[in-house]
Amino acid sequence: MSLHSEIHEQPAVIQNLLGKQTEITRIAAEIRKIDPAYVFLAARGTSDNAGRYANYLWGAYNRLPVALATPSLFTFYGQSPLLKGALVTTVSQSGKSPDIVAVVEEGKRQGCASLAITNAPDSPLAAVSDFVIDIAAGPEKAVAATKTYTAELLAMALLSVELANDSTRRAELQNLPIWAQQVLALDEEIARLAERFRYMEHCVVIGRGFNYATAFEWSLKMKELTYSVAEPYSSADFQHGPIAMVERGFPVFAVAPSGVILPDMLGLLKNLRETHHAELTVISDNLEALALAQSPIQLPAGIPEWLSPIIAIIPAQLFCYHLTRTRGFDTEAPRTIHKVTETH
């Protein structure tokens, strides 16, 4: 098993998790009885990026405000905020990080219900949580998380659908394995594109809305695998100052699928290409956006914007894998980091 094979497992992982919809329906029914005022979400690393997706998804479709936790308040500072009315939600592949467990334990002391989304249903985190969604991604040996990230996103999407009892979106979920397989077919093409960036040292990664999470996750994979300085931004924040650093040939990676955010992204991409002469890599299903890129990566047509982060990150993962190989680095064991990081 390798990073490359784990990336290619994602259609099967997605299909498997879709089969657990009945259990998630049960959990959603229990959460509706509790009727939380908001979600207080704690995570680290890749799982924290998944939390950014929940922020948009549950806010837009379930009208649930999502507050992203600061676990250090619960550990180092010992000054936890008041959590009245919260559904304390944690996202962790391993379920072992003490600071994430501490958030749930404090929530319990304050009388809050808790939900864990994890790949380890027998973990310390699962043991202290009221509800557990097992993402069932199977063993993930590579240090860089890939299939567990998309499974976390899908778990959030399934919960959103079941909380809302939304039959239209429930049907849309069934197309995910096919779309995932279609983007994986771009593997060799993406390998060729990655060679263009062999000597890249700095770049920015841009997304907005649901794909704000994708920008952060693509950036993280660039850092931990290729050792590039890759800074993530929303398209709005990027125009409030950071765009000034873009000069001719500066690499900009963007996620711009169809949806309400697309016109904003198109405006920025045109500016970057025509005025700043940036080097653009664009993941999109929109032909106009793809035409602006020197390195276009085409998504399948018809993906709803709310599901696009689950599919759009897959070609980004492949890009990082191939760039790592192009640079001669180890794709399985990035330097100085480990698969499970237990922070306090």
Distances 330 to 2, 59, 223, 322 between C-alpha atoms, Å: 11, 39, 13, 11
107-122: average pLDDT: 97
286 and 213 in a common domain: yes
Furthest C-alpha separation in the chain: 56
13-40: average pLDDT: 97
Residue 338 has pLDDT above 70, yes or no: no
CA atoms of 2 and 47, how far apart (whole Å): 20
Final residue belonging to a domain, choices 123, 152, 174: 174
Final residue belonging to a domain, choices 143, 174, 205: 174
Split at pLDDT 50, 70, 90, the class of 273 is very high
**Residue 340 covered by a domain:** no
109-124: average pLDDT: 97
Which pLDDT belongs to residue 334? 87
CA atoms of 174 and 183, how far apart (whole Å): 16
The closest alpha carbon to 153, from 340, 13, 319, 316, belongs to 13
Q: CA-based angle 73:119:180, to the nearest 5?
A: 115
Residue 188 has pLDDT above 90, yes or no: yes
Instruction: Please state the domain count of the chain.
Output: 2
Give the amino acid at 138: G
Tokens of 280: 């653009």
318 and 235 in a common domain: yes
198 and 90 in a common domain: no
Residue 339 has pLDDT above 60, yes or no: no
Which pLDDT belongs to residue 333? 85
Residue 344 has pLDDT above 70, yes or no: no
Split at pLDDT 50, 70, 90, the class of 343 is low
Final residue belonging to a domain, choices 141, 174, 207: 174
- φ/ψ of 243, rounded to 5, equals -60, -20
Share of the chain above pLDDT 70, in %: 98
70 and 211 in a common domain: no
**Residue 331 covered by a domain:** no
110-130: average pLDDT: 97
- Domain housing 260: 185-326
147 and 42 in a common domain: yes
Q: Whose structure tokens read 């993406």?
A: 190
Residue 8 has pLDDT above 90, yes or no: yes
194 and 317 in a common domain: yes
Which pLDDT belongs to residue 336? 72
214-232: average pLDDT: 97
303 and 194 in a common domain: yes
Which pLDDT belongs to residue 181? 98
Residue 95 has pLDDT above 60, yes or no: yes
- The model carries a pTM of 0.96
pLDDT tens digits for range 136-151: 999 999 999 999 999 9
Provide the mean pLDDT of the chain. Answer: 95
92-116: average pLDDT: 95
- Comparing 253 with 72, the larger pLDDT belongs to 253
**Residue 230 covered by a domain:** yes
Contact 27, 133 (CB under 8 A): yes
